Every structure is written in C-alpha cells, then in structure tokens.
C-alpha cells in the first residue's frame, strides 16, 4: 500500500552516532514541524556533541538501550515513527568481538519491532548494502532489491538478520515498516575508526595512513546528507513492506581514495603503510538505486565526490577537539591487531 505520511513526532535511535546525527540535523533544518526524540546508549561511537546546539524544543535526548523493553514501553507511545539507526557498525570490531553486534543489531531490532507492533508506530529500518555480500571487481553487476542475501562478516550477518525480522514483522503482524540498504557514507561526525576519517586524522596527527590488503577493494561512496534525504523520502513516501537501495554512483577503490586524501592534504600520494588485510574482506560493493529514484523521485545532490572529500577533510581539520578524545584508543586497538 502506498502512503503519504507526515510524521510530527519521531524517535531516531542512534541519533548521536555518525549517520543518525546527520539525519537529526537534516530533519531540524528541512522539516520545521517535526520533533525528534533521540534514543541513544552513548556507546564509544555515540557522542552528544554531535547534536549539541540544536533547539531544545525540537530535539530531546534520551540516553538508553534499544534492548530495554521497559524503556521502550515508556517512551514509544505518542510518537508517529521510529527511524532506526542504532547499531554496532564497524566490521573490524565485529571480527574482534561479535557479541555486542548480536545483542544490539538483532535483539535491539526485535525490541523496537515489538514496541511498534504494540503501539502501532511506523518503523523505518536503516540497513546496509553489505547484506548482499560482495561483487567481483570485473563483475558489471550492481546490487538491486532482488539480490540474494549473502553477508560475509559478523556485522553484516547481524544486519541481514535484523532486515529479515523487519520483513517478518511486517508480513505477520502488519507492522508498518520499510527498509533501506545504503552504501558507504562519508561526511562530518564519522568516528575515527572508519576508513576516511582514520586516514585524514592520521595525517593531521603526523602518522602514516594505513591501507588494508592490496588496496583494490571498491566501496560505493555517498555523502551522508544524501542518505538523510533518501531516508526521509522513504519514511514519508515509501510503500509499506518495501525495501529501497540508496546509492549515489560513487564507486572508487581504496587506494584511489587514499591517494586523493594525501594529495588534497599536501602529502606525497605514496606516503602510507600497507597493513594486514581484514579477514573475509568484501571485495566490492555497488548499488543500483534506480527503484528509489524512479518510484519515489529521490536523487542525490552531493555527486562531486572530490568536492565532498575536500569539505570532509576541512571539517576534520577544523574539529580536532571533536575527534582527538577518541583517536588514541582507536589507534591502540588497530596497532594490537597489526593494522
Ligand atoms: P555509528 O557507530 O557511528 O553510530 C551508532 C550509534 O548507535 C551510536 O550513537 C551508538 O551510541 C548507538 N548505539 C549503539 N548501540 C546502541 C544500543 N544498544 N542502544 C541505543 N543506541 C545504541 O554508526 P553509523 O555509521 O552512524 O551507522 C548508523 C546506521 O547506519 C547503522 O545501522 C549502520 O548499519 C547503517 N549504515 C551505515 C553505513 C556507513 O557507511 N557507516 C552505511 C549503510 C548503513
Ligand atoms: O557499505 C556500508 C558499510 O560501510 C556500513 O554498513 C558500515 O557500517 C560501514 O562501517 C562501512 O563498512 P566498510 O567496512 O566498508 O567501512 P570501513 O570504513 O571500515 O572500510 C572501508 C574500506 O577501507 C574497506 O575496504 C576496508 C578499508 N580500510 C579500512 C580502514 C579502517 C583500510 O584500507 N584501512 C583502514 O584503516
């Protein structure tokens, strides 16, 4: 069933993380009548600074765990929708210790779906292209909504599990749900454990960037602001029960991205270290987002990756106070892993 949904009071889980906080900024800026309750556990990846300064009458932060059913019983009634971003999101962490991924990504999604079922609240599930596994470098294909699930890592297998829960809760219990699977995001507020911020902050810190394996792995980059506009479009115009792939035609291999960063930052493009590869490292992701563009009229705006990368480098250069507190512990963890 198609819909034209105008939410006024939404919960954004994980709204103090990278993509969730960018979505909260997007909603406050673009949709003036909407109030946002951020539900966030403030794990190592959650930072209340990410939403600091937003108007208090528009955004409320509830610090809590999505697995806490009693908390959900208290806060979910009265909201029109839950947009679910909260997750353990980093592949390397899931290889070092999968347990929190099972709890937050699978059990947490289950608890949110149960709350939506009980209080008849619209649910949008933010997922990843990694549920589809990977593609060969020379494969002309891209992922579509029909591609079979074939996740490779503990992280992506828990995200795939959560997607399947959403489908079941929609079909069996009639939960008003949609799913989006997006490609690799970049932009402000991304944790320094992730590829682009890690390399930028290494260079700012006088350290050499670190490239896994042979550097030929391809990721399909999208500016996080375009991800936000796509999620809002699906929340308000999406067909219930449907899945939409989100992407901006941004395929690039890691070596090329790293050399771009080094060049923009005035360094020799070969001034980096090759380090131990990620076990099970997915080779290539590529998204065909034509369903979302054709059926809901969405399109990305930040299509100049080079410009977006330069703006992101400028943001990290100007916000050392934001990333500095997490940098030491993140690099210590990587050092212990030989990366
Ligand atoms: P992130 O790690 O930056 O942020 C995750 C947020 O969730 C943090 O604020 C954290 O405190 C919170 N959180 C974690 N466990 C929680 C719990 N049990 N209860 C409440 N809050 C909890 O993640 P991100 O990169 O912003 O990713 C957000 C979502 O988007 C995830 O679902 C991820 O799978 C998905 N996604 C990410 C990308 C990407 O490129 N980063 C691409 C596609 C999809
Ligand atoms: O595709 C969407 C996914 O993108 C999201 O679901 C994940 O939450 C998000 O973390 C991201 O996953 P990746 O594993 O692709 O992102 P990451 O930033 O960890 O790594 C990007 C690529 O860079 C990957 O091929 C591994 C490589 N890499 C990463 C780091 C941290 C390096 O070469 N060196 C590094 O130091």
**Domains: count for the chain:** 1
Tens digit of each residue's pLDDT (9 = 90 or more) over 294-307? 999 999 999 999 99
Residues 6+ apart with CB under 8 A from 318: none
- For ligand 2, which residues put their CB under 6 angstroms from it? 89-91, 128-130, 183-184, 194-195, 198, 210-212, 217, 219, 254, 278, 285
Answer whether 59's CB lies under 8 Å from 24's CB: yes
Q: For residue 146, what are the domain limits?
A: 9-187+222-249+280-301
Secondary structure of residue 76 in the 3-state scheme:
coil
For residue 193, pLDDT over 90 is answered with yes
What stretches of the chain adopt beta strand conformation (E)?
A: 9-13, 35-40, 59-63, 81-84, 122-128, 177-182, 185-186, 210-212, 218-220, 222-223, 243-246, 251-253, 273-275
The string of pLDDT tens digits covering residues 71-104 is 999 999 999 999 999 999 999 999 999 999 999 9
**What is the model's pLDDT at position 4?**
86
In a domain, 320, yes or no: no
Say whether pLDDT at 12 is over 60: yes
In a domain, 37, yes or no: yes
CATH of the domain at 15: 3.40.50.720
- The answer to whether residue 211 sits within a structural domain is no
**Domain-located, residue 197:** no
User: Are 298 and 235 contacting, i.e. CB atoms less than 8 angstroms apart?
Assistant: no
Task: Let me know if residue 258 belongs to a domain.
Answer: no
DSSP secondary structure letters along 22-70: HHHHHHHHH-TT-EEEEEE---TT--GGGGTTS-TTTEEEEE--TT-HH
**Active-site positions?**
129-130, 155
Query: Is residue 122 situated within a structural domain?
Result: yes
Tell me whether residue 63 is in a domain. Answer: yes
Out of 91, 126, 210, 218, mutate this one to test ligand 2's pocket (max ligand atoms within 8 Å of CB): namely 91
Instruction: Give 283's pLDDT tier (boundaries 50, 70, 90).
Output: very high
| Ligand 1 atom nearest 185 alpha carbon | 40
In a domain, 338, yes or no: no
């Amino acid at each position: 069933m198609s819909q034209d949904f105008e939410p006024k009071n939404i919960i954004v889980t994980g709204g103090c993380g990278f993509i969730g906080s960018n979505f909260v900024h997007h909603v406050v800026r673009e949709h003036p009548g909407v109030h946002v309750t951020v539900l966030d556990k403030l794990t190592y990846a959650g930072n209340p600074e990410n939403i600091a300064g937003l108007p208090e009458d528009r955004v409320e932060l509830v610090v809590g765990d999505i697995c806490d059913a009693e908390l959900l019983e208290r806060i979910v009634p009265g909201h029109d929708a839950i947009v679910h971003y909260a997750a353990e999101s980093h592949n390397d962490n899931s290889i070092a210790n999968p347990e929190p991924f099972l709890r937050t990504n699978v059990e947490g999604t289950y608890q949110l779906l149960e709350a939506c079922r009980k209080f008849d609240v619209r649910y949008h599930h933010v997922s990843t292209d990694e549920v589809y596994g990977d593609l060969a470098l020379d494969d002309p294909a891209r992922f579509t909504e029909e591609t079979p699930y074939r996740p490779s890592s503990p992280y992506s297998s828990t995200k795939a599990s959560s997607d399947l829960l959403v489908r079941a809760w929609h079909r069996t219990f009639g939960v008003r749900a949609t799913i989006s699977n997006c490609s690799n995001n970049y932009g402000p507020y991304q944790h320094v454990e992730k590829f682009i911020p890690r390399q930028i902050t290494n260079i700012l810190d006088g350290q050499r960037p670190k490239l896994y394996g042979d550097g030929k792995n391809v990721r399909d980059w999208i500016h996080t602001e375009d991800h936000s506009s796509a999620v809002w479009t699906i929340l308000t115009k999406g067909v219930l029960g449907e899945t939409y792939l989100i992407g901006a035609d941004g395929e690039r291999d890691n070596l090329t991205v790293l050399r771009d960063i080094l060049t923009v930052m005035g360094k020799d493009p070969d001034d980096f270290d090759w380090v131990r590869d990620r076990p099970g490292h997915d080779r290539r992701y590529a998204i065909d987002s034509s369903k979302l563009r054709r059926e809901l009229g969405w399109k990305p705006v930040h299509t100049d990756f080079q410009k977006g990368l330069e703006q992101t480098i400028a943001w990290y250069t100007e916000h050392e106070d934001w990333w500095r507190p997490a940098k030491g512990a993140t690099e210590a963890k990587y050092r212990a892993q030989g990366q």
